[in-house]
Amino acid sequence: DAGVIQSPRHEVTEMGQEVTLRCKPISGHNSLFWYRQTMMRGLELLIYFNNNVPIDDSGMPEDRFSAKMPNASFSTLKIQPSEPRDSAVYFCASGGGVETQYFGPGTRLLVL
């Protein structure tokens, strides 16, 4: 099993640009979580999907953030326009239940 796959692994962009992060969950998992991690705020849940349906997006910081899961094997997190304060590590995790969250390697985003 390849585990959760995320791309890109690193992204450097300029303020105002659109950023799209991608995630392929583990096959058979029906839950998908997007997290953001910073030193100051730790690990924050942005949004999660169950069976491809967004269940809770209360952690999405602003309208600049959006997430989609068009099918069971793919999800995107988009930031438009990006700002320097969005710089963080973004993790995607998948699982069959809350106690089985498996994290991807993360995307390190730097917005200049």
Partner 1 sequence: QKEVEQNSGPLSVPEGAIASLNCTYSDRGSQSFFWYRQYSGKSPELIMSIYSNGDKEDGRFTAQLNKASQYVSLLIRDSQPSDSATYLCAVNDPGNNRKLIWGLGTSLAVNP
Pairwise CA distance, residues 5 & 104, whole Å: 6
Distance of CA 32 to the CA centre of its chain: 9
The residues that touch partner 1, with contacts defined as CB under 8 A, are 31, 42-45, 48, 50, 55-56, 91, 97-106
* Residue closer to partner 1 (CB basis): 82 or 101: 101
DSSP conformation letters of 5-24: EEE-SEEEE-TT--EEEEEE
* Residue closer to partner 1 (CB basis): 4 or 79: 4
Closest distance of CB 103 from partner 1, Å: 4
Closest distance of CB 47 from partner 1, Å: 11
